[in-house]
Amino acid sequence: MESAVKNSLLAPIKTLKFCVSGEKQPSGWTKHGSKRHGKLREAMNAQKNAERAAMRAHFRRKYQLTKNAKDAEQLRAAGRKVCLPRDLAKMVGPEAPAKDDSFGLIDAFQSLGAGIFTRKQSKTPTSRADTEPCRSKGRRTERQEALLCVKGVQSDQIKSESSSMISSCVRPPGFSTAVRSLCVHACGREDAGTERALPRRTGGVRDFQEIPHTGSNGWINLLRFWKDGRFSLLHKHMENTFRRLGPIYREHLGSQSSVNIMLPTDIGELFRSEGLHPRRMTLQPWATHRETRRHSKGVFLKNGTEWRADRLLLNREVMVASAVRRFLPLLDDVAQDFCRSLRHRVETEGVGETGQRRMTLDPSPDLFRFALEASCHVLYGERIGLFSSSPSEESERFIWAVERMLATTPPLLYLPPRLLLRLRAPLWTQHATAWDHIFSHAEARIQRGYQRMQMAVGGASDGRFLGVLGQLMEAGQLSLELIKANITELMAGGVDTTAVPLQFALFELGRNPDVQERVRAQVLSSWEQALYPVGITVQRYPTLVQVCLYPLGRSPEVFDRPERFDPSRWAGSKPDENAGSGGSFRSLAFGFGSRQCVGRRIAENEMQLLLMHILRNFKLTVSSTEELNTKYTLILQPESPPRITFTTRSL
Ligand code: HEM
């Protein structure tokens, strides 16, 4: 590894000899040089060494190699003044997300050889993804560009920590500079730090304490939350609070404190400051379950180098383009089966003339089954027969368990789970039992997968895709215990998260017939994600900052007519008239950067394929175009699932 990294370092570091600071010998330079020239040469060498050290330090951090004292020494010798040439500065600079780097539907169908679409898409993940697939490319602003050329850059600051360079202002200990700079943008109002908000004021960095808040006593706030039943309406609470207090506020709830933000500029600021090991809020009830049951944790619950080691191995199996190509046909099989079975049902049980039979139903139970069937096919390489007339009790129990586990998580987040465990509180018992079901479902499948692998000649798969599980086992780089932990998390994270947005999407297509027609005709790769983000926040430490996706998606400050279902806002190169600055940090349903959703490629393709097959088979209508009421149960979902009328189309 070290040698591969050295090779990749060699070229960029060599180019440093042409760097501004050491570009040419000064005129009048003699072979031996004068004393004055000697000093000059020394200074130039020190500068050159410092630049090389800065680059080395960057790559050492990137590839998790041990630090080198010489780098720090050389930086020190140059008085910590490092001004990298533009192209090198670019390599160590921050990245903003591309508008949408999804592996789109059209790619999907081209890979399947369906040949239905001819429009070319160039957004397939590149080979870079083999090592760092989650970071999407983007352009730096002039301001960031300038920030890279700063005085006093220390070796361990050089990576994408632009916000830590933002100001030379005094930093209170433990207070993230990203949050400080957020204050510059968003907190410029007269009486921040209270429950009132006054008009914005431009100006310098304001104090953390000045960020407005919803009440300083976390326990009183929590009581209010319980009393008003606000847990299930957390997304609405956030939207209202932003309206009341402005685009940044603090919230104390029980033992949790967070700074909540929603503007793309602020979100960009936060994400540009994330390092090699981004941290989210730990879902303590989940962690306590693993600890008390002595299960290992997977990427969802891990942090630091342990997280990164697992994550890079998982990326290879579920995020990179070659992995997507492996599992795409499996997802397509399931999506086609779903549509065949629904079509059969509408044709036999529906009403209307032949060729245009119709049936109105709540598709949510079928969508949950679809998502579970698709997950099992991709993760275990196994079909579990959920579209048959009598799906197994075990599968039904799994779906119930995931739903229970999610619903019991939010209220447990603000209370100490170990205390509840000791008190045998029913809420905790329900939560832990739900997780036990999820684990035993995964355990049974992992055992079967293991046996199948053993039975295959020499333990190898004979070229057959045995699912992500088989791939991980064959690679042999994760222990069986860690494979189990991660596969279980992928199973738990992969069902409701896709089934619910599918409900929203069908409903929106049903009540927007013109959009439905356009999508059917074009079958574009992107559709609404910001309006109903299943995860309503993305979080980062230090100082818990929550990016509030629901208010972001519904803000007229960020989107032109945000309430309108308009998938075309994500397509093509339509300028973001309303994006304001930080425009690209608007589509964050899957989070951002190296810690973004690891199931993203599975989810996107699973949902897109299903929608595509549905639109080819059916016309969708809804009886009411009223807004859907929504509730939050760790994921955002409709309060009651919408009923959709499916009318068959001729193929
Ligand atoms: C529409 C569907 C989905 C959405 C909107 C979604 C959203 C998210 C978000 C917002 C995060 C946090 C990212 C961050 O902090 O930057 C996340 C993490 C995660 N998701 Fe998803 N997700 C979806 C589907 C899936 C699926 C299908 C799987 C599994 C196959 C999955 C497994 C995970 C895991 C394991 C993590 C933790 C990753 C880590 O910490 O390294 N998700 N997801």
Q: What is the pLDDT of residue 583?
A: 56
Q: Whose alpha carbon is nearest atom 20 of ligand 1?
A: 597
With pLDDT > 90 as the criterion, what percentage of the chain qualifies?
A: 41
For residue 295, is pLDDT > 90?
Answer: yes
Q: What is the pLDDT of residue 81?
A: 57
Q: What is the pLDDT of residue 250?
A: 96
Query: For 161-184, what is the mean pLDDT?
Result: 35
Query: For 390-407, what is the mean pLDDT?
Result: 86
Q: What is the pLDDT of residue 455?
A: 73
With pLDDT > 70 as the criterion, what percentage of the chain qualifies?
A: 65
Q: What is the pLDDT of residue 202?
A: 53
Q: What is the pLDDT of residue 35?
A: 54
> What distance in Å separates the CA atoms of residue 418 and residue 112, rounded to the nearest whole number?
49
Q: What is the pLDDT of residue 533?
A: 73
Q: What is the pLDDT of residue 267?
A: 93
Residue from 497, 527, 545, 604 whose mutation best tests the ligand 1 pocket (most atoms within 8 A of CB): 497
SS3 per residue for 287-330: HHHHHHCCCCCCCCCCCHHHHHHHHHHHHHHHCCHHHHHHHHHH
Find the 398 Cα to ligand 1 centroid distance in Å.
Answer: 19
* Cis peptide bond upstream of 542, omega within 30: yes
Q: What is the pLDDT of residue 103?
A: 33
Q: What is the pLDDT of residue 129?
A: 30
94 φ/ψ angles, rounded to the nearest 5 degrees: -75, 160
Closest CA to 561 of 520, 592, 530, 601: 530
Better pLDDT: 68 or 563:
563
Top-ranked range on mean pLDDT: pick from 3-17, 64-78, 192-206, 444-458? 444-458
Q: Give the DSSP per-residue string, 506-560.
A: HHHHHH-HHHHHHHHHH--S----SSS-SS-EEEETTTTEEEEHHHHHT-TTTSS
Ligand 1 environment, Cβ below 6 A: 280, 299-300, 311, 489-490, 493-494, 497-498, 501, 534-535, 538, 589-592, 595-599, 602-603
Question: pLDDT of 632-650, one tens digit each?
Answer: 988 899 999 999 999 999 8
pTM over 0.90: no
For residue 18, is pLDDT > 70?
Answer: no
Find the 174 Cα to ligand 1 centroid distance in Å.
Answer: 28
- 117-126, 490-499, 572-581: which range is least confident on average? 117-126
Query: For 614-636, what is the mean pLDDT?
Result: 92
Question: pLDDT of 513-522, one tens digit each?
Answer: 999 998 888 7
User: In the chain, what are the domains?
Assistant: 2-94+137-157 (no CATH), 174-281 (no CATH), 295-535+589-648 (1.10.630.10)
Q: Whose alpha carbon is nearest atom 11 of ligand 1?
A: 597
Better pLDDT: 432 or 538:
432
Query: For 15-42, what is the mean pLDDT?
Result: 43
Find the 639 Cα to ligand 1 centroid distance in Å.
Answer: 22
